[in-house]
Amino acid sequence: MVEKKWIIALLLSVSAIFVIAAGSFFYLKFYGPSGFPVATTTNFSNTFASGVSRSAEGEYAQAAMQYEKALQKVTTKEEEGLARLYLAIAVTGTDVVRGIEMLKEISRDETLPGFYRAGGAIFLLQLFSRSHDPEFVGEHLFTGEVWASFAKDTPRTYAGVELAVRRAFEWSTELHSLFEAEYRIALWYMRKVYFGSLSPKERAQYQQIAEERTIKGDTALRLAIDSGITPHSEIGLGYNLKATLLEFKHALGEASLAEVEDAYQNALTLLGTDPAVQSRFNEFYARLEYSNFLARLDRAAYLEKIKTVLTPLYLSSMNVAFDSATSRIKNKADTPFQLILSRIAAIDPRFKNKIETLGWIPQ
C-alpha cells in the first residue's frame, strides 16, 4: 500500500506537468483534426482560454472550474470534446484516479468527434508510459467498459502491459489516426520481429503490419507538419519514434545509417530548441535512444559523438525529465530500458552518477 501511494504521488507530479504541456498536443489555439481550427463562440473561447491560462500557472483546481464553465457554453460537439478533454487533463493534476476515469469516459463517448476520443486515449497511455508499474496500470487503467478488454488474458507483467497498450493504441486509430499511435503500434511489431522467436510466416506477417502502420504514421506526421501549427514538441516526438523504427530496419538491412541519424537529428533540433516542458520529456528519451543506437553500432568509434549527444541532459532544465522517469529508472522489470541505462552509464560517468542519485542499481 505504501508503494502504491508513492506511485500515485509520482503520477500526480507527472500529470501536473502534463497539464501545463497538454496544450502542445491539443494545440492551445483550439485546433482540431489535421490542424483545422475548431469553430468556437466568443463566450466559450474566452472562458476556455481562462482555463488554459490557469493550467499554465499550475492552478489546476481553478482551471478545472473554468473548463466546467466553458462546458456550459458549448454550442458544438467539437467545443464539448475540447472542454471535456482539458477538464479531464486538469483533474489529473490533483486527482489522477478520477482524471483517468474521466479520460476513459471521453474515449468511450460515441457522440464526440473521433479526434477527441483518440486524444483522450493517447493522453492516458502517455501518462502511464512513465509509471511502467503493471499492478497500478492493471488496477486503474485497463478496467471498465472497453479498456478492460485490452488487458484480457494478459498477465500483469511488463510484457502483458505492453500488449494491452498496443491494443489500446490500435483502438485509438479506429477513432482517429494520429502518428504517435501508428508509430508505437509499428514499434511493438518490429520489436517482436527483432527480438522474438517467430516462425518465418509470423515474421513476414509482423513485418507487413509494421510497414503498414509506419506508412500511416508517416502520413499523419506529414499532415501535422504541413499544418504549420503543430508544436515542435510533438513533431520532435514523431521524428524520434520514426528514428527508432528506422533503427530496426537498419539492423535488418532495410534502412541506411544516414536515414536513422537524420531522423534523430531532426528530432533533437526541434526538441532542443523548444522551451516547452513536454519537449524536455521527449528530448530526454531521444538523446538516450540515439546514444544507445550509436553505442551498439561501435562504442569506440562514436564515443565522443555519444558524449556530445548526452551533454544537454545535464542542464538544470532537464531535471524535470529525469524526475519523471524515476519509476522507470528503478524498475528492473523494464528490461529494454534497463539495458539502455546500463550501456550509457558504462560510457558516461555523469549519466551514471545522475541515475544512481535517483535510485538506479546496476544489474
pLDDT in tens, 128-164: 666 566 777 778 899 999 999 999 998 888 788 889 9
Question: Is 149 within the bounds of a domain?
Answer: no
pLDDT band (50, 70, 90) for residue 8: very low
Q: What DSSP assignment string belongs to 326-348?
A: HHHHH-TT-HHHHHHHHHHHHH-
pTM value?
A: 0.86
pLDDT tens, residue by residue, 224-283? 888 777 888 889 999 999 999 999 999 999 999 999 999 999 999 999 998 877 789 899
Structural domain harbouring 55? 1-124
Nearest to 79, CA basis, from 104, 130, 115 = 115
pLDDT band (50, 70, 90) for residue 172: very high
> pLDDT at position 49, please?
85
Domain count of the fold of the chain: 1
Q: How far apart are CA 150 and CA 319, in angstroms?
A: 34
Residue 220 predicted with pLDDT over 50: yes
Question: Is 294 within the bounds of a domain?
Answer: no
Say if residues 329 and 341 touch (Cβ distance below 8 Å).
yes
Q: Under the phi-then-psi rule, with left for phi > 0, alpha for psi from -120 to 50, and beta for the rest, what region is 19?
A: alpha
pLDDT band (50, 70, 90) for residue 328: confident
Averaged over 301-310, what is the pLDDT? 96
Query: Which three cell numbers mark 302?
Result: 562514436
Question: Is 272 within the bounds of a domain?
Answer: no
pLDDT band (50, 70, 90) for residue 40: low
Task: List phi, psi (to 5°) of 93.
Answer: -70, -15
Question: Is 136 within the bounds of a domain?
Answer: no
Question: Is 12 within the bounds of a domain?
Answer: yes
pLDDT band (50, 70, 90) for residue 175: very high
Q: How far apart are CA 196 and CA 59, in angstroms?
A: 46
Q: How far apart are CA 165 and CA 251, in angstroms?
A: 25
Q: Tell me the CA distances in angstroms from 10 to 5, 13, 66, 104, one per residue in order.
A: 9, 5, 26, 20
> pLDDT at position 31, please?
42
Nearest to 150, CA basis, from 171, 178, 129, 126 = 171
Alpha helices in the chain (DSSP H): 2-26, 42-56, 60-71, 77-92, 96-108, 114-129, 134-140, 147-150, 158-175, 179-195, 200-226, 232-251, 257-272, 277-298, 303-310, 319-324, 326-330, 335-347, 349-357
pLDDT tens, residue by residue, 20-37? 444 444 443 344 444 444
CA dihedral 109, 112, 115, 117 (to 10 degrees): -20
CA 152, chain centre distance (Å): 23
Q: How far apart are CA 152 and CA 303, in angstroms?
A: 44
Burial 165-200 (b: 16+ CB within 10 A, else e): bbbbbbbbbebbbbbbbbbbbbbbbbbbbeeeeeee
Q: Under the phi-then-psi rule, with left for phi > 0, alpha for psi from -120 to 50, and beta for the rest, what region is 175?
A: alpha
> pLDDT at position 130, please?
60
Residue type for 158, please?
Y
pLDDT tens, residue by residue, 333-353? 778 889 999 999 999 999 999
Nearest to 142, CA basis, from 169, 181, 175, 174 = 169
Query: Which three cell numbers mark 193?
Result: 520481429
Question: Is 159 within the bounds of a domain?
Answer: no
> pLDDT at position 333, please?
75
Q: How far apart are CA 104 and CA 95, in angstroms?
A: 14
Question: Is 14 within the bounds of a domain?
Answer: yes
Say if residues 231 and 255 touch (Cβ distance below 8 Å).
no
Classified as helix, coil or strand, 9 is helix
Averaged over 201-221, what is the pLDDT? 96
Question: Is 68 within the bounds of a domain?
Answer: yes
